[in-house]
Amino acid sequence: MPVRSSRSVRQGWAGFVASGLTATLVAGAAQAATPSLSGEKAAFPPFDVVTFPGQLFWLAITFGALYWLMSTIALPRVGAILEERAGTIARDLDNAARMQAKAEETALAYEAALTEARKNAQGIAQASRDAGAKASEERRHAVEAELATKLATAEATIAATKTSAMSNVRGLGSEVAIAIVEKLTGQAPSATEASEAVDQVLARG
Amino acid sequence: MAAGGGIDPIHQFEIKPIIGLRPFGLDLSFTNASLLMVAIVAVISVIMIYGSSQRSVVPGRLQSFAEMIYEFVASTVTGVMGKEGMKFFPLVFSLFMFVLFANMLGMIPGSFTVTSHIVVTAAFAFLVIGTVLVYGVVKHGSHFFGLFVPSGVPGWLLPFMVLIEAVSFVSRPISLSLRLFGNMLAGHIALKVFGGFVVALLAAGGAATIIAPLPLLLAVALTALEFLVAFLQAYVFAILTCVYLNDALHPGH
């Protein structure tokens, strides 16, 4: 237990109060430590004024050295490292962004080319389809025309055949009529009379 | 550690000379405190200078630790003071690191806590306030003292406000130094006292021996708490430094 030191502090405080000085706690503490100046041992060490110059002296040296080391070597160096890293990261990110933009551009170009090709293919298909349709149409027309010609020829042949058949029928009719009349009357009519009579019958129906 | 038959919690704060130096009648001996100060600078230099010596874009363990601390302090500085606050970055960084490693190395059993001495914390506090004053006056001239004159205060209230502002300004270095000093001192005393309880209870024998583990558990918990406090106080010191320096950058409310 801090019996010895607390007593000395208490004595110091008593002395301090008795002295009637208005001072801060620090000054009071220094007051408390005053006896040690006069050689008495066991002052509270933190308030032992005797040690102050030495402590301040070494503190000034060490803290000055630390400040110098930090401000001229350590901090600029660490700051530079951090800056460099930030720069590297930013540069890498930039590069990555640029690469990505490039890739997207390429993808777009590819897409466009693909669309173009598709459109071309469609055009070609349409054109060939049109050409095919046109060709078949032409052929159809040609065939139709040919068929029409054949039909006309056939019709003409039929008509000619029919006319000749009809004239044959008339000739045959007058001959039959002459033969019938001759059989009935015993007297043959002239060919002209017979053919007139046949014409009359034919015209009636 | 046992002095005078008991366990003395104050013993750990004693300053013992290692190499005597007495120029001009001043005691400038290289002491255990000086040794720790040198150790602090050495450890920080190893982390920050050796750690960053590879300058690799993909950092190793030590380098990423150095970068982590750098970015932590830099974000604190810019968060409080803005971009222009970076001119104070080396100062805030050195202060933060020195205080942090003073506190942390002080946690090593048998070592010495530099920041448990008020002369050290006060020196830091006055360094900060001195920087604020010098920079503020050099940069803004008399305009800097507008800091003490809040705007939009009725005339009859102004003297009181100026007085209050002045008192608050003067109390800054005091609170800044006492906060760190008090935390480190009290924490280390508490640790030692609980450690002393364990020894005392064990020595007492009988029933007392059985409850000896209780203060031991507390000492373990306190140790964890002390590590938290060690970091937290360094951070508080750094952030208050930023807040005060911000006044020098942008005086006037």
Predicted confidence (pLDDT) per residue in B111-166, tens digit: 889 999 999 999 999 999 999 999 988 888 877 887 787 777 777 888 888 888 88
Final residue of a structural domain among A162, A179, A195: A162
Is there a single domain that holds both residue A37 and residue A53? no
Q: Is the pLDDT of residue B98 over 50?
A: yes
Q: Is the pLDDT of residue A40 over 80?
A: no
Is there a single domain that holds both residue A38 and residue A69? no
The reply to whether A39 touches chain B by the CB within 8 Å rule is: no
Chain B interface disruption, residue of A10, A25, A59, most B CBs within 10 A:
A59
Is there a single domain that holds both residue A19 and residue A119? no
The reply to whether A84 touches chain B by the CB within 8 Å rule is: yes
Task: Give the residue numbers spanning the domain of A112.
Answer: 49-162
Number of domains forming the structure of chain B: 1
- Interchain pair A51, B13: CB under 8 A: no
- Dihedrals φ, ψ of B19, to 5°? -125, 120
Distance from CA of A24 to the nearest CA of B (A): 9
| Cα gap A109→A131, rounded to integer Å | 32
Q: Which residue has the higher pLDDT, A36 or B103?
A: B103
Is there a single domain that holds both residue A28 and residue A57? no
Q: Is the pLDDT of residue A15 over 80?
A: no
Q: Which residue has the higher pLDDT, B93 or A15?
A: B93
- Mean pLDDT along residues A37-66: 79
- Dihedrals φ, ψ of B3, to 5°? -125, 130
Q: How many residues does chain B have?
A: 253
Nearest chain A residue (CA) to B12: A45
pLDDT recorded at residue A41: 53
Is there a single domain that holds both residue A87 and residue A183? no
Q: What is the largest CA-CA distance in chain A?
A: 203
Is there a single domain that holds both residue A151 and residue A182? no
Is there a single domain that holds both residue A72 and residue A134? yes
Number of domains forming the structure of chain A: 3
Is there a single domain that holds both residue A13 and residue A110? no
The reply to whether B181 touches chain A by the CB within 8 Å rule is: yes
- Mean pLDDT along residues A74-93: 91
Q: Which residues of B touch A4 (CB under 8 A)?
A: 4, 8
- Mean pLDDT along residues B214-220: 89
Is there a single domain that holds both residue A96 and residue A196? no
| Cα gap A138→B138, rounded to integer Å | 106
Which strand (E) or helix (H) includes residue B243?
Answer: helix B213-249
Task: Give the residue numbers spanning the domain of B63.
Answer: 2-249
Distance from CA of A102 to the nearest CA of B (A): 28
